[in-house]
Structure 1
Amino acid sequence: MKILLDEDVYAVTGRFLKSLNHDVANVYDLGLSGLSGEVILRTAMERQAVLITRDKDFGHLVFVKSIGSGVIYLRVLPSTIDSVRKELKRVLERYSFKELEGSFVVVEPAGHRFRRSYRN
């Protein structure tokens, strides 16, 4: 799956996703660091990638403005990174890009919540 990592996602998570053979790019390497969430989500759409972030404000853009090709929001602290990565792996194995498209998924240590935008 193609994944775009927001600048607030730990580098260890990017390495973890690459080890699972996902096509991972990050906002910083694409020159998008510091740009608006709208620009970042539109870039994810153009790349047909799911955005992974630690910024819950992307939910507003997905649901109110109907922007993006799907967002996975990580509720993670340094002490919970292993359990969140395990749950993130389950989410990426369970859902296809088509299922994630236009959705907002909250990944936490104990599980995840999946919510689709009204446009899907």
Structure 2
Amino acid sequence: MKWLLNMNMPRSLKQLLESVGHQCRHTGEIGLERASDWVVLEEAAREGEVILTHDLDYGRLLAFSGASKPSVVVVRLSRPTPKNIFERLVAVWSTIEQPLIDGAIVVLEDATVRIRRLPIRLEGLEVKQ
């Protein structure tokens, strides 16, 4: 898997992911440390990467864009240390790998994993103005 770690992810997580064969970049290492969420989404989509973040905004942006890529993993752990994030990803890998390949928003919590496949269809929803 190819990962793009958002600025709020520890850089040391990159080494852990690479140690098990993943390709990984950190936004702070490629000049995107101050980039908007849209720019990070576009970069990840262009490079075929999955965004790893704590930021809930990526899910909202993807939902309203109708896009099917990039996939996003939102980390919502009570103790989000690099080791805990890595171990949780490894523990649920068989569940999340294919959805991430296909296009999904995955919310990674201590005891649960929520998967929302992309694109998110908003037809039939009433929008109040």
TM-score tier by shorter-chain length is: 0.7 to 0.9
Partner residue of 2:70? 69
Partner residue of 2:16? 16
CA contact (8 A) 1:53 1:72 kept: yes
SS in 2 for 1:28: helix
CA contact (8 A) 2:107 2:114 kept: yes
TM-score by length of 1: 0.84
CA contact (8 A) 2:50 2:71 kept: yes
1:101-112 superposed matches below 5 A: 101-112=102-113
Partner residue of 2:59? 59
Structure 1's consecutive aligned runs of 4 or more residues displaced over 4 angstroms after TM superposition are none
One-letter amino acid matched to 1:17: L
The structural deviation recorded for 1:116 is 1.0
Uncovered stretches (5+) of structure 1, i.e. residues with no partner: none
**CA-to-aligned-CA distance 1:83-114 (integer Å, 9 cap, x gap):** 44322123444444x63143110011213111
TM-score by length of 2: 0.78
One-letter amino acid matched to 2:27: V
One-letter amino acid matched to 1:40: V
1:22-61 superposed matches below 5 A: 22-61=22-61
CA contact (8 A) 1:83 1:110 kept: no
Distance 1:45 1:36 in 2: 14
The structural deviation recorded for 1:3 is 0.6
Structure 1 residues 104 and 65, CA gap change in structure 2 (3 angstroms): same
Uncovered stretches (5+) of structure 2, i.e. residues with no partner: 122-129
CA contact (8 A) 1:71 1:104 kept: yes
Distance 1:99 1:3 in 2: 14
* Percent identical: 27
CA contact (8 A) 2:99 2:115 kept: no
Distance 1:42 1:112 in 2: 25
Distance 2:120 2:110 in 1: 29
The question of 1:7 aligning with 2:7 is answered yes
The count of aligned residue pairs is 118
